Amino acid sequence: MTSRPGTPRPAIAARLDLSPHPEGGWYRRTWASPVDVTLADGRMRPTATMILFLLPAGEASAWHRVASDEIWVAQLGAVRLQLGGTGDRPGDGETLVVGLDLEAGQRPQAVVPAGTWQRTVPSAADALVTCTVSPGFDFDDFELDRG
């Protein structure tokens, strides 16, 4: 289940001033590089951007992809991140668990290459991550699977 606008804001989202994200979960941009880069098509983006992303227990995000590399860094709990390839529609791919329990095989960081379909799946506990996107994130470069 993805979070939707109008869903009551979880306490941790309120404390961190997070808003509903269109893909599901809650987010807030916390940083954008003051240095811009020109993309191949002539558009400008910050060289990198960063958000806090909360996925409350039992929630998931929809399949989506962005036009830049995305680095996930665990802060609290663990996120099960599914990758779905780079085709027209998401397919079967690797599942990564981004979290801080190294003994359980979790990894504290994961990179999702530009153009790769990704989604998160529900877990039993809240998860908080930092996501850094380079070149910087812009919703013009964000695609939800409308499948």
**pLDDT tens figures, 17-30:** 999 999 999 999 99
pLDDT of residue 147: 73
Domain 11-137 homologous superfamily, CATH: Jelly Rolls (2.60.120.10)
Confidence of residue 6 (pLDDT cuts 50, 70, 90): low
Check whether 109 has a pLDDT greater than 90: yes
Q: What are phi and psi of 123, to 5 degrees?
A: -135, 175
Q: Which two tokens stand for residue 50?
A: 């960063």
* CA dihedral for 74, 104, 14, 119, sign (positive or negative): positive
- DSSP, residue by residue, 65-98: EESSEEEEEEEESEEEEEE--SSSS-----EEEE
Check whether 1 has a pLDDT greater than 50: no
Confidence of residue 76 (pLDDT cuts 50, 70, 90): very high
Check whether 104 has a pLDDT greater than 50: yes
Q: Nearest Cα to 112, choosing from 74, 145, 86? A: 86
Residue pair 106/97 in contact (Cβ under 8 Å)? The answer is yes
Q: What is the DSSP letter of 107?
A: B
Check whether 2 has a pLDDT greater than 90: no
**Spans of all domains in the chain:** 11-137
Q: What is the mean pLDDT of the chain?
A: 94
More confident residue, 65 or 5: 65
